[in-house]
C-alpha cells in the first residue's frame, strides 16, 4: 500500500517502503582541496557501511595526532567521503559530490553533504482535502518537487525528500480571491529556486499566461502575467542564460482564433518580445525546446476552430528572435496531436495521440533537424489515452500517458521507438489522470492524481522506480544494482 501524507499543513510523515545498505546520520569531517595536499594515491573509499567520524565544520581540517599517515589509516569507513592524507597535517575527509551512490544499486542510498542518505523505490500519496491535481514535476539530488492545483487556494509546489516524505508545500495566487481558475503547466529547477509557468483566469472570463519565480524554499520572489483581453495561456517553458522562453496559445495576438505563442523574457520575467504563429484555424503549442540558434515548438492544429474534431500535429522552428525558419505538419491523413517535445541527436521527437481508425493510439514521431519525418510509432493504452510527458536519454525514450478513470502508464523504448516495457497504474472511476515524468540518477519518477471519494476530491501520487519501472525494492531485487544499459527488461533480479 502506498503511504499517505497531508501536503498542506502536516508534511514530513511517511514510512520507509523498502531500503538497502545505508548509514543515515553518518556525517563526514569535511575538507577542501585547498586545505590539504591530497596524496596522489588517496581515493574515494567504497566501503559498504558508512561510519561515523568526528564532526567538523565544512572546509575544516581533521588531522590525526601522528605526523604521517597512509590512505589505509585515513579510511573513515564512509562511502560518501574521499580520504585525504597529508604528511604534515595528517588525515582529512572530503565530501563527495551530492547525488552519487553510497553503495551498489538504486536501493543503497546516495551521498548528500558527505552523508549516506537512504533512497527507496516507493509510491506515496499526498492529500490536501480537496482537488489536488499535479501537472509538472522535477527530480532533485535530494528529492522531488511537484507543481499542481491546490484546490481553491490556487496553485502550489510540493517538495519531498528522496523517500517521498513531504518537506514543505507552498501555494500561490488566490489569497485575494481574484482568480477563478489556475493550472500550473511547467516547472523548472534553477540553481537558486524554481520557476513555474501556469495559466490563470479572472472573474471577467479572461485567461493569462503566468510565470512565478521562487527561492529554494518555495517563497515567491516575483511573478509576471502575459496576455490581453482574451484567452491566453502558457503551457511549456525553457530556462535560458539571460531569461526564460514560454510557449502556449494566444487569442490576443495573431488571427484571434488561437495561435501558437512564443514569449521571450529577461531574468525577472519582463517580456522582451512575443510572437504568434498560426493560420485561420485554432492552434495551441504544448511543447518547447530551446536550442543554441533558436526554438522549436510543437502542438496541435484544430480544423474545426475548436478543441474538438480532427487535429494535426504541428512543429515550428524559429531563430533566436522568434522568426520562423520552417514548419511541418504530421498526421494529416488520419489526424494527430502533440503534447511534448525533446531534442535528440540530429533532430526531434514529439509525443501525443494518433487518430487511427478505432481507438486512438499513443504516438511518438521522430524527425531530422529540418522536421522531415524519420519514423513514427504507435502504442496501445486503450481508448482516450494520450502521451503527455517525454524524456530522452542515451538508451532511448520514456513517456507517460493518462486517460479516463485515472489510469496511468509509463512506457520505455529504445532510440528507434521500439517498445521495451511498460508499467500501468490502475485508476478509479473519476476524472482524467495527467501524468508527469522525470529522470533520476537511477531510474524514473512519475506523478499523477487519483480520486479519493468522488469527482471533487483528488489526491496526488508519486512513484519512484528503477530503470525498468519497478517501484519497490522487492520487485527490483538485483536489478537495482544494474545500469540501464544492462537489460531490456528487469524484474526481481531477472535481466532480459
Of 208-222, 328-342, 377-391, the poorest mean pLDDT is in 377-391
The residues that bridge with 396 in the sheet, in sequence order, are 393
Residue 29 has pLDDT above 80, yes or no: no
What average pLDDT does this structure show over 102-114? 80
304 CB-contact burial (10 Å; exposed 0-12 / middle 13-18 / buried 19+): exposed
Instruction: Pick the closest to residue 69 from 27, 94, 36, 46 (CA basis).
Output: 36
Residue 62 has pLDDT above 50, yes or no: no
Place of cell 483566469: 201
The residues that bridge with 445 in the sheet, in sequence order, are 438, 464
- C-alpha distances out from residue 279 to 39, 233, 334, 362, 371, Å: 67, 18, 20, 26, 19
65 CB-contact burial (10 Å; exposed 0-12 / middle 13-18 / buried 19+): exposed
- pLDDT per residue over 424-445, tens digit each? 988 764 545 578 999 998 899 9
Whether 53 and 29 have beta carbons less than 8 Å apart is answered as yes
Cα angle vertex 57, ends 54, 58, to 5°?
A: 110
The rounded radius of gyration (Å) of the Cα atoms in the chain is 24
- pLDDT per residue over 230-257, tens digit each? 899 999 999 999 999 999 999 999 887 8
Cell numbers that stand for 474 in this block: 522487492
How far apart are alpha carbons 418 and 387 in whole angstroms? 15
- pLDDT per residue over 375-402, tens digit each? 999 998 877 788 999 999 999 999 999 8
Whether 423 and 437 have beta carbons less than 8 Å apart is answered as no
> Given this model, what pLDDT does residue 428 score?
60
- pLDDT per residue over 162-188, tens digit each? 889 999 999 887 655 555 556 668 999
Whether 277 and 324 have beta carbons less than 8 Å apart is answered as yes
Residues 6+ apart with CB under 8 A from 1: none
Q: Please tell me whether residue 61 adopts helix, strand or coil conformation.
A: coil
Q: Which CATH class is domain 122-495?
A: mainly beta
Q: What are phi and psi for residue 85, nearest 5 degrees?
A: -135, 125
> Given this model, what pLDDT does residue 426 score?
81
Q: What is the DSSP letter of 80?
A: T
Cell numbers that stand for 37 in this block: 595536499
Cell numbers that stand for 392 in this block: 530522452
Boundaries of CATH 2.130.10.10 in the chain? 122-495
How far apart are alpha carbons 380 and 370 in whole angstroms? 29
Of 170-174, 182-186, 209-213, 260-264, the poorest mean pLDDT is in 182-186
- Per the prediction, the chain carries an average pLDDT of 81
Q: Comparing 86 with 444, which gets the higher pLDDT?
A: 444
Within 10 A of 237 (CB to CB), how many other CB atoms are there? 25
Amino acid at each position: 500500500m502506498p503511504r499517505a501524507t497531508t501536503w498542506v499543513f502536516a508534511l514530513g510523515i511517511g514510512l520507509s517502503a523498502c531500503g538497502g545498505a545505508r548509514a543515515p546520520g553518518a556525517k563526514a569531517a569535511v575538507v577542501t582541496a585547498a586545505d590539504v595536499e591530497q596524496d596522489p594515491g588517496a581515493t574515494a573509499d567504497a566501503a559498504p557501511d558508512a561510519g561515523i567520524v568526528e564532526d567538523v565544520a565544512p572546509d575544516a581540517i581533521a588531522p590525526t595526532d601522528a605526523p604521517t599517515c597512509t590512505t589505509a589509516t585515513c579510511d573513515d569507513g564512509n562511502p560518501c567521503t574521499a580520504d585525504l592524507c597529508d604528511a604534515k597535517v595528517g588525515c582529512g575527509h572530503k565530501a563527495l559530490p551530492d547525488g552519487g551512490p553510497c553503495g551498489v544499486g538504486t536501493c543503497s542510498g546516495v551521498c548528500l553533504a558527505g552523508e549516506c542518505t537512504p533512497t527507496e523505490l516507493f509510491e506515496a500519496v499526498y492529500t490536501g482535502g480537496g482537488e489536488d491535481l499535479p501537472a509538472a514535476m522535477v527530480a532533485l539530488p535530494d528529492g522531488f518537487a511537484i507543481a499542481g492545483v491546490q484546490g481553491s487556494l490556487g496553485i502550489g509546489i510540493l517538495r519531498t525528500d528522496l523517500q517521498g516524505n513531504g518537506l514543505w508545500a507552498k501555494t500561490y495566487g488566490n489569497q485575494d480571491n481574484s482568480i477563478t481558475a489556475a493550472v500550473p503547466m511547467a516547472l523548472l529547477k534553477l540553481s537558486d529556486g524554481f520557476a513555474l509557468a501556469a495559466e490563470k483566469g479572472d472573474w471577467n472570463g479572461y485567461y493569462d499566461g503566468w510565470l512565478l519565480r521562487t527561492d529554494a524554499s518555495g517563497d515567491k520572489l516575483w511573478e509576471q502575467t502575459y496576455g490581453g483581453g482574451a484567452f491566453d495561456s502558457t503551457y511549456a517553458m525553457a530556462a535560458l542564460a539571460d531569461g526564460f522562453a514560454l510557449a502556449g496559445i494566444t487569442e490576443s495576438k495573431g488571427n484571434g482564433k488561437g495561435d501558437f505563442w512564443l514569449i521571450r523574457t529577461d531574468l525577472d520575467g519582463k517580456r522582451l518580445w512575443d510572437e504568434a504563429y498560426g493560420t485561420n484555424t485554432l492552434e495551441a503549442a504544448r511543447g518547447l525546446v530551446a536550442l543554441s540558434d533558436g526554438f522549436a515548438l510543437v502542438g496541435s492544429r484544430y480544423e474545426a476552430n475548436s478543441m474538438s474534431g480532427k487535429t494535426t500535429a504541428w512543429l515550428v522552428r524559429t531563430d533566436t528572435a522568434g522568426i520562423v525558419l520552417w514548419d511541418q505538419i504530421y498526421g494529416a491523413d488520419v489526424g494527430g496531436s502533440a503534447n511534448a517535445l525533446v531534442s535528440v541527436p540530429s533532430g526531434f521527437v514529439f509525443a501525443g495521440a494518433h487518430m487511427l481508425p478505432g481507438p486512438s493510439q499513443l504516438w511518438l514521431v521522430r524527425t531530422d533537424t529540418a522536421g522531415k519525418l524519420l519514423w513514427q510509432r504507435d502504442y496501445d493504452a486503450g481508448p482516450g489515452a494520450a502521451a503527455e510527458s517525454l524524456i530522452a536519454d542515451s538508451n532511448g525514450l520514456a513517456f507517460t500517458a493518462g486517460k479516463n478513470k485515472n489510469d496511468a502508464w509509463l512506457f520505455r523504448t529504445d532510440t528507434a521507438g521500439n517498445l521495451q516495457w511498460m508499467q500501468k497504474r490502475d485508476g478509479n472511476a473519476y476524472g482524467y489522470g495527467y501524468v508527469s515524468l522525470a529522470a533520476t540518477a537511477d531510474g524514473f519518477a512519475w506523478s499523477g492524481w487519483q480520486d479519493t471519494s468522488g469527482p471533487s476530491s483528488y489526491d496526488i501520487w508519486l512513484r519512484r522506480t528503477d530503470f525498468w519501472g519497478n517501484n519497490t525494492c522487492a520487485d527490483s531485487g538485483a536489478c537495482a544494482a544494474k545500469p540501464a544499459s544492462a537489460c531490456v527488461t528487469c524484474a526481481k533480479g531477472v535481466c532480459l
